[in-house]
Amino acid sequence: MSSDTSTADIINVPTDFAQAYVFDLDGTIYLGDQLLPGAKRMIEELRRRRIPVRFLSNNPTKDPEQYVEKLAKLGLPTDIEDICNTVVTTTRWLKENHPDAKLFPVAEEPLKRALRKAGFTLTDDPSEIDIVIASYDRTFDYHKLQVAFDAMWFYKRAFLIQTNPDHFCPFPGGRGEPDCAAVVAAIEACTQMKSQVNLGKPSPIMLAEALQGLDVEVSRCVMVGDRLQTDIQMALDTGMGSACVLTGEATPDDIRGLDDAHHPTYVLDRVDQLIPASAWRELGWTEDND
């Protein structure tokens, strides 16, 4: 394996396999509708070795079934149990902690659909709302802001939670869209009330969901992602190993600017560098034959 000379000073690859791997998706496994170099053979090799693989996403605009469909189209068939996103964590957290709450989701249809399926009542009547859910919502408008404001500020009965803390969602070509943090900021600004819980990365709630049912030690697992503030921070906060791939948001200069307390365990040019060099040699891999 080789590294680009511009990143050779920061690349640090593992020398052994972990007990389990938790992967971010966009920017780590794929970018847009294209698998990133080496992603397919890496996942296939981990599965061949019977090492558990889980996928995480802070995106609440897709439900797990949509991720199953997308990964299958990209050549990575995946069981729905191996996927956890903020639709899953938000619904389960509400079910466990506020099963009778009436909800106002500032959200798109996948989250609303999951909440209805779980038996929740969704309402836009501010006098009935118990919890306002801020999410990545491309239909966010002044009416929704007014409903949230009335429920929280005027009626003083509702509190705010959020699906994820991301400021924007990156797109191929360097573009992006405002994400959940923009909606949260608008509601917090007018109500002067803070969100009480975050249900996406870097929250430990997300990690607990991802590792549910696996007999593994957190410290011997690795979280793999491209965002320092979410993917890597979640690993740091929970004592989990971390690998930052330079195929998404994080840049080499971002890595160089980190102090020791915030530095990922590994830094990779490409995600298949998770497979130790000794296994690359055994498999006959090169960066040109992925």
Instruction: Please report whether residue 285 resides in a domain.
Output: no
Question: CB–CB of 21/274 below 8 Å?
Answer: yes
Whether the pLDDT of residue 110 is over 90: the answer is: yes
Confidence of residue 169 (pLDDT cuts 50, 70, 90): confident
Closest by CA position to 273, among listed 21, 89, 6, 78:
21
Distance from C-alpha of 34 to C-alpha of 247, rounded to nearest angstrom: 12
Whether the pLDDT of residue 2 is over 60: the answer is: no
Instruction: Please report whether residue 62 resides in a domain.
Output: no
Query: 3: which residues sit within 8 A by CB, 6+ positions away?
Result: 11, 269
Confidence of residue 289 (pLDDT cuts 50, 70, 90): confident
Confidence of residue 4 (pLDDT cuts 50, 70, 90): low
Pairing status of strand 34-35 against strand 30-31: antiparallel
List Cα–Cα distances, 15 to 29, 39, 61, 113, 172, in angstroms: 21, 18, 37, 43, 31
Confidence of residue 251 (pLDDT cuts 50, 70, 90): very high
Instruction: Please report whether residue 32 resides in a domain.
Output: no
pLDDT 10s digits, 59-84: 999 999 999 999 999 999 999 999 99
Instruction: Please report whether residue 45 resides in a domain.
Output: no
Question: CB–CB of 143/132 below 8 Å?
Answer: no
Confidence of residue 6 (pLDDT cuts 50, 70, 90): confident
Round the average pLDDT of the chain to a whole number and report it.
Answer: 94
The whole-number pLDDT of residue 89 equals: 96
Instruction: Please report whether residue 127 resides in a domain.
Output: yes
Tokens 């990690």 correspond to: 207
Whether the pLDDT of residue 39 is over 70: the answer is: yes
The whole-number pLDDT of residue 258 equals: 96
Instruction: Please report whether residue 176 resides in a domain.
Output: yes
Instruction: Please report whether residue 137 resides in a domain.
Output: yes
> What are the DSSP E strand ranges found in the chain?
20-24, 30-31, 34-35, 53-57, 83-85, 102-106, 121-122, 131-134, 159-162, 168-170, 176-178, 221-225, 241-245, 266-268
pLDDT 10s digits, 81-102: 999 999 999 999 999 999 999 9
Percent of the chain with pLDDT over 70: 98
**CA-angle at 142, arms to 139 and 148, nearest 5°:** 95
Confidence of residue 42 (pLDDT cuts 50, 70, 90): very high
Whether the pLDDT of residue 1 is over 60: the answer is: no
Range of the domain at 253: 85-218+240-260
Tokens for 163? 């699906």
Question: CB–CB of 198/237 below 8 Å?
Answer: no
Confidence of residue 243 (pLDDT cuts 50, 70, 90): very high
Whether the pLDDT of residue 32 is over 90: the answer is: no
pTM above 0.85, yes or no: yes
Instruction: Please report whether residue 159 resides in a domain.
Output: yes
How many domains is the chain partitioned into structurally? 1
Tokens 């949230």 correspond to: 148
Closest by CA position to 132, among listed 210, 190, 63:
190
Which CATH number characterizes residue 200's domain?
Answer: 3.40.50.1000
Q: DSSP letters of 102-151? A: EEEEES-HHHHHHHHHTTPEE---TTT-SEEEE---TT--HHHHHHHHII
Distance from C-alpha of 162 to C-alpha of 207, rounded to nearest angstrom: 16
Cα 35 to the chain's mean position, in Å?
A: 17
Distance from C-alpha of 148 to C-alpha of 79, rounded to nearest angstrom: 36
pLDDT 10s digits, 191-209: 999 999 999 999 999 998 8
Whether the pLDDT of residue 103 is over 90: the answer is: yes
The whole-number pLDDT of residue 3 equals: 52
Question: CB–CB of 120/245 below 8 Å?
Answer: no
Pairing status of strand 176-178 against strand 168-170: antiparallel
Write down the H helix ranges in 34-82. 39-48, 64-73
The whole-number pLDDT of residue 133 equals: 98
**Region 157-167: what's the mean pLDDT?**
96
